């Protein structure tokens, strides 16, 4: 069974940095894009960043210039380096990936359980 396992969340003061990681585990055929979405308390889930299989990145407006997404293709892992953090970055960060579980299947989205990030002023 495919799982996305996140790590690296926590609490930090404004202006600080955190690095999130997400690893795909289990048996699967291939991975397409990977990325991160976030959900602040009382708000809808929004895009943080994504990275495609060929390395093309996309960032949500509020995080551009402060967050950097990267990928370790050999380890099926995606990272999100978050810098210059602001209190409004507080929320639950969810890893997502388009995964093809076997050769006969099509890509479908998988989600991690989420990791909490708290930025205090």
Is residue 73 predicted with pLDDT exceeding 90? no
pLDDT in tens, 16-34: 999 999 999 999 999 999 9
Q: pLDDT confidence of 38, banded at 50, 70, 90?
A: very high
Query: Rounded to whole angstroms, how far apart are CA atoms 72 and 26?
Result: 16
What average pLDDT does range 80-92 have in this prediction?
98
pLDDT of residue 115: 97
Return the sign of the alpha-carbon dihedral for residues 66, 38, 41, 17. Answer: negative
């Amino acid at each position: 069974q495919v799982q996305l396992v996140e790590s690296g969340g926590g609490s930090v003061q404004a202006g600080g940095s955190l690095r999130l990681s997400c690893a795909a585990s289990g048996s699967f055929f291939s991975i397409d894009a990977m990325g991160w979405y976030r959900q602040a308390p009382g708000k809808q889930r929004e895009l943080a960043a994504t990275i495609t299989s060929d390395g093309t990145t996309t960032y949500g407006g509020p995080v551009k210039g402060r967050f950097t997404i990267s990928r370790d293709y050999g380890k099926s892992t995606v990272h999100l380096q978050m810098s210059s953090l602001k209190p409004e970055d507080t929320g639950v960060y969810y890893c997502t990936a388009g995964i093809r579980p076997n050769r006969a299947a099509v890509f479908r989205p998988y989600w991690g359980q989420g990791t909490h990030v708290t930025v205090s002023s």
